[in-house]
C-alpha cells in the first residue's frame, strides 16, 4: 500500500478548513494554525490517519465483507459513484433514507419490489395492465432505482461505513453507532471527530480533496480484494506420507534375544552334594 505524500495533499487543498467561528472544539488536535480567519488542518496528522484508515479497510475487504460509502453532497456524489463502482462496493449518493440500516428488512423488501417490476417487464406482464398503471409502475421503478439501485447487491448489513461530511450525514452516523458498525469519515473543522471511529481530518467541500483521499481508500480495498483472491486460488499444500510404524516385537523374540541367566547355587544344591558324599562312603567300607 503506497503512502500518501504531503505535497499531493497540499496541492489538492486538503488542508483548508472552515471559518474560525464555525469550528468544533474537538477538532483542536488536528488544527495546525489559523490564517485569514480560516483554520488550517495539520497534513501530517491527515496522512497518518489516512494510512490508519486504509489499513483497516484493507483488512475488512480481505475478509470478504462489504463497506458502504455515503456521500450525498454535490461535490462528492459523482466522484464516489465513479470510484466505488470499480471495487464493486455499495454506495449511497442520492439520498439517505431513514432506517436504511436500522430497518434493513424493509429496505430489502423495496429492493425485491424493484426486481419484481423488472420481471414483469421481461415476461410481458406489463402489457396486460392499463397505460396509467404502467406509468405509475415505471415511476415507482425509477424512484426505487434512484434510492436503492446502488445497494441492490447488499444482502446484509454492511461491516463498515465510509462517510464524507459526517455533519451532513448525521443520520447515517447515528444508525451506524446504534448497530455498532465501524465508521470511517472525512471530518472537517466544523464537525465532531468523536462521532466516528476512524477520523480523516480533511477538507470535505473540495472535490479535489475528496478525490485524493478516495484514491488512497479504493487502492487499499483493491489490494485487500486481490490478496483474498490470491489466497483462494492458492492450491492446498499436499500432506507428507506418514512414516511406517515399527512392528512390535513378539514376546518370544525378546525372550530368545535376552541372555540366559545363570542360576545361583542355593540350599538344594549344597544338600544334594552332601547326600552324594554320604552314599559313597559306606560302599567303600564294605570292600
Q: Which residue has the higher pLDDT, 239 or 153?
A: 153
**Is the pLDDT at 91 greater than 60, yes or no?**
yes
- Sort 186 into a burial class: Cβ within 10 Å, 0-12 / 13-18 / 19+: buried
CA pair distance 58, 34, nearest whole angstrom: 34
Mean pLDDT, the chain, rounded, equals: 83
Residues 39-84: tens digit of each pLDDT: 999 999 999 999 999 999 999 999 989 999 999 999 898 899 999 9
Nearest CA to 117 out of 94, 91, 88, 149 is that of: 149
Q: How long, in residues, is the chain?
A: 287
Residues 11-45: tens digit of each pLDDT: 999 999 999 898 999 999 999 988 888 999 999 99
How much is the pLDDT for 269?
A: 47
DSSP state, residue 15: T
Residues 187-199: tens digit of each pLDDT: 999 999 999 999 9
Share of the chain above pLDDT 70, in %: 82
Q: What is the mean pLDDT of residues 138-155?
A: 87
Instruction: Give CA angle at 158 (154, 164), nearest 5°.
Output: 105
How much is the pLDDT for 121?
A: 83
**Is the pLDDT at 162 greater than 90, yes or no?**
yes
How much is the pLDDT for 271?
A: 45
The β-bridge partners of 31 are: 41
Give Cα 40 to chain centroid, integer Å: 33
Residues 241-284: tens digit of each pLDDT: 666 555 545 455 445 555 544 444 554 445 445 444 444 444 44
**Is the pLDDT at 131 greater than 90, yes or no?**
no
End-to-end alpha carbon distance in the chain: 120
Kindly report the number of other CB atoms within 10 A of residue 32's CB atom. Answer: 16
Show the domains of the chain with their CATH numbers.
6-101+157-233 (3.40.50.10490), 102-155 (1.10.287)
Amino acid at each position: 500500500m503506497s503512502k500518501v505524500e504531503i505535497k499531493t495533499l497540499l496541492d489538492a487543498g486538503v488542508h483548508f478548513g472552515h471559518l474560525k467561528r464555525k469550528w468544533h472544539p474537538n477538532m483542536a488536535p488536528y488544527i495546525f494554525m489559523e490564517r485569514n480567519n480560516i483554520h488550517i488542518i495539520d497534513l501530517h496528522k491527515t496522512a497518518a490517519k489516512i494510512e490508519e484508515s486504509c489499513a483497516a479497510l484493507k483488512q475488512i475487504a480481505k475478509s470478504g465483507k462489504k463497506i458502504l460509502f455515503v456521500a450525498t453532497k454535490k461535490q462528492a456524489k459523482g466522484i464516489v459513484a465513479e470510484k466505488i463502482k470499480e471495487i464493486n462496493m455499495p454506495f449511497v449518493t442520492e439520498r439517505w433514507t431513514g432506517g436504511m440500516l436500522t430497518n434493513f428488512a424493509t429496505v430489502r423488501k423495496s429492493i425485491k419490489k424493484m426486481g419484481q417490476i423488472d420481471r414483469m417487464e421481461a415476461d410481458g406482464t406489463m402489457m396486460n395492465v392499463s397505460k396509467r398503471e404502467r406509468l405509475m409502475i415505471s415511476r415507482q421503478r425509477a424512484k426505487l432505482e434512484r434510492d436503492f439501485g446502488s445497494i441492490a447487491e447488499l444482502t446484509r448489513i454492511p461491516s463498515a461505513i465510509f462517510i464524507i461530511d459526517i455533519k451532513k450525514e448525521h443520520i447515517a452516523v447515528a444508525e451506524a453507532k446504534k448497530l455498532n458498525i465501524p465508521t470511517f469519515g472525512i471530518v472537517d473543522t466544523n464537525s465532531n471527530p468523536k462521532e466516528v471511529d476512524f477520523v480523516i481530518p480533511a477538507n470535505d467541500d473540495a472535490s479535489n480533496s475528496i478525490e485524493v483521499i478516495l484514491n488512497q481508500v479504493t487502492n487499499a480495498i483493491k489490494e485487500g480484494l486481490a490478496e483474498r483472491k490470491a489466497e483462494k486460488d492458492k492450491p492446498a499444500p499436499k500432506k507428507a506420507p506418514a512414516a511406517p510404524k515399527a512392528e512390535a516385537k513378539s514376546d518370544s523374540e525378546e525372550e530368545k534375544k535376552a541372555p540366559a541367566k545363570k542360576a545361583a547355587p542355593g540350599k538344594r544344591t549344597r544338600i544334594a552334594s552332601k547326600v552324594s558324599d554320604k552314599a559313597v562312603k559306606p560302599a567303600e567300607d564294605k570292600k
